[in-house]
């Protein structure tokens, strides 16, 4: 594994769990209080120049959002990923827009899609993709897409549907059995 990548965590003052490592690739999980420190040191001391993406997984079962920051070095040869869990309820994550300006856009998207608050991000309340959205943020797993689409768009077009199981049974007269077990409720 890349020595440079290894040093990012070995020279830090706090603990981290390695999720996956490979040639030119390291993915660690840290406590959320250390995220900013690790991101800063990765950029300033270890050449992790580019912020590729910030991703979110809605782990609704654990009541957390798992955020992952994906960084790449200036040569494009190694990738460093930092994951941390944040409570799902009123989720607040510090902005890193002043470290990587591109984060302002990424965080704006996450604010719209998951409702995560990035205090300090000057543009997070501007619409990203959705216009005038007043519902639960749509990428949250508790957002019911079917309910929303039925409520908003209605039965625009009558849906036709045939159940394969019933269609087969009807066509071969399957339930015409000589002695159906009537006491069995099906």
Partner 1 sequence: MKFTDIVSPFLAWSRAAKKADTIPYPQKSNPGSDRYRGFHRNDLDKCIGCGRCEEICQNLAIGMVQVEDSQPVKGDSGLRPLVDYGRCCWCALCIDVCSTGSLSLSNSYSWTTYNADTCAYIPGTDEKAWDHTPKGYSQDNSILKWAGSPRVSMPAARPDKRVDSFEEVIRGYSPEQAAIEAARCIQCGLCVTACPAHMHIPEYLRAIADGDYAGAVKLFFDNNPLPEMCGKVCTRECESVCAMGYQGEAIAIRWLKRFACEQFESLSDVLAVDEKPLEQGRGKVAIIGTGPAGLSAAYYLSRMGFEAHVFDKDEEGGGVAQHAIPEYRLPAAGYEKQMDVFRKAGAHFHYGTEVNDADILKMSDDYDAVFIAAGLQKSSEFRIPGVELPGVKHAFYFLMNKPEDGSIDVGARVLVIGGGNVAMDTARTCLRLGSEVVISYRRRIVDMPADEEEIEEAMEESIDFRPQTIPIRIEKAGQRLKYFYAEAEMIDDPNGGRPKPVRKDDIEHGIEIDTVFLAIGQSSDLGFLPEVIAEKMTIQWGEIEVDKDQYTGVKNIYAGGDITPGAGDIITAIADGMRAAKAIRDGGNLIVNLK
Q: CA 160, 161, 163 angle in degrees (round to 5)?
A: 165
- Three-state secondary structure call for residue 151: helix
172 binds partner 1 (CB under 8 A): yes
Smallest distance from the beta carbon of 131 to partner 1, in angstroms? 18
183 binds partner 1 (CB under 8 A): yes
Q: Which span (42-50, 56-64, 69-77, 175-183) binds partner 1, by CB under 8 A?
A: 175-183
Residue 125, both tokens: 């309340």
Q: Show the site string, 113-152: x = touches partner 1 by CB under 8 A, - = not.
A: --------------------------------xx--x---
Within 10 Å of residue 106's Cβ, how many Cβ atoms? Answer: 21
With beta carbons less than 8 A apart as the criterion, state whether 73 and 97 touch.
no
Choice from 3, 20, 134, 157 touching partner 1 (CB under 8 A): 157
φ, ψ of residue 77 in degrees (nearest 5)? -105, -20
181 binds partner 1 (CB under 8 A): yes
- Three-state secondary structure call for residue 71: strand
Within 10 Å of residue 31's Cβ, how many Cβ atoms? Answer: 12
Between 3 and 159, CB nearer to partner 1? 159
Choice from 3, 23, 132, 153 touching partner 1 (CB under 8 A): 153
Smallest distance from the beta carbon of 108 to partner 1, in angstroms? 22
């Amino acid at each position: 594994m890349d020595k440079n990548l290894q040093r990012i965590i070995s020279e830090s003052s706090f603990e981290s769990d390695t999720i996956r490592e490979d040639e030119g690739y390291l993915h660690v999980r840290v406590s959320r209080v250390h995220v900013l420190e690790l991101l800063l040191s990765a950029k300033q001391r270890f050449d992790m120049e580019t912020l590729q993406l910030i991703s979110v997984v809605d782990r609704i079962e654990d009541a957390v959002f798992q955020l992952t920051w994906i960084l790449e070095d200036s040569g494009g040869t190694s990738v460093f990923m930092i994951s941390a869990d944040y409570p799902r309820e009123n989720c607040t994550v510090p902005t890193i827009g002043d470290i990587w300006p591109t984060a302002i856009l990424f965080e704006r998207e996450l604010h719209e899609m998951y409702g995560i608050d990035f205090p300090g991000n000057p543009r997070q309340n501007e619409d990203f993709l959705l216009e005038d959205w007043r519902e639960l943020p749509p990428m949250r797993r508790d957002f019911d897409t079917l309910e929303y689409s039925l409520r908003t768009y209605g039965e625009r077009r009558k849906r036709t549907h045939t159940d394969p199981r019933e269609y087969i049974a009807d066509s071969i007269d399957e339930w015409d059995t000589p002695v159906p077990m009537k006491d069995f409720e099906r």
